[in-house]
Amino acid sequence: MNIAFIAHDKKKNDIVQFVTAYEKVLSEHNLFTTGTTGQRIMEATSLVVHRFQSGPLGGDQQIGARIAENEMDCVIFFKDPLTAQPHEPDITALIRLCDVYSIPLATNMATAEILLRGLERGDFQWREIVKGKSEDQS
């Protein structure tokens, strides 16, 4: 599975702790992140992640492009709801793409934990079917 991780500045510590707690599960998947978040995750774990640009420099849009191409299976985005973000339109577009393409999206730790528990159980196998259908239509 291809899993994207994004975190606003005030949530970076939380996402690093979260990824550290689920390192074993995540080591079996392809991980993608925005710039600084990815750097922090790699410093704290032994995971290898593909880093895009930072969010304000287009990283959210790069992940969105992967969603639109059906190349992302899950997005975990620890948003800071109490701080205005200068790239809010990009964030809104990313969330919209998750809705359009039925990509599971967690915007907080509680929902992220539920998604990863489902991933552990194999509840994401339907994504392989969806990917196969989109490849057949190409």
CATH of the domain at 72: 3.40.50.1380
Specify the pLDDT at position 47.
98
pLDDT one-digit tens code per residue, 99-118: 999 999 999 999 999 999 99
Q: Report the number of distinct structural domains present in the chain.
A: 1
**Distances from the Cα of 33 to the Cαs of 12, 41, 64, 125, 129, in angstroms?**
12, 9, 12, 22, 24
Domain that holds residue 20: 2-137
Specify the pLDDT at position 127.
77
Catalytic residue among 9, 14, 60, 136: 60
Locate 73 and state its tokens.
Answer: 């299976």
Query: Averaged in consecutive runs of 10 residues, what is the pLDDT profile of the chain (138 residues)?
Result: 96 98 96 96 97 91 95 96 87 94 96 95 80 58
Specify the pLDDT at position 116.
95
Specify the pLDDT at position 134.
59
Specify the pLDDT at position 138.
47
Q: Note if 60 is an active site residue.
A: yes
CB neighbours of residue 81 within 10 Å: 9
- pLDDT, averaged across the chain: 91
Specify the pLDDT at position 125.
79
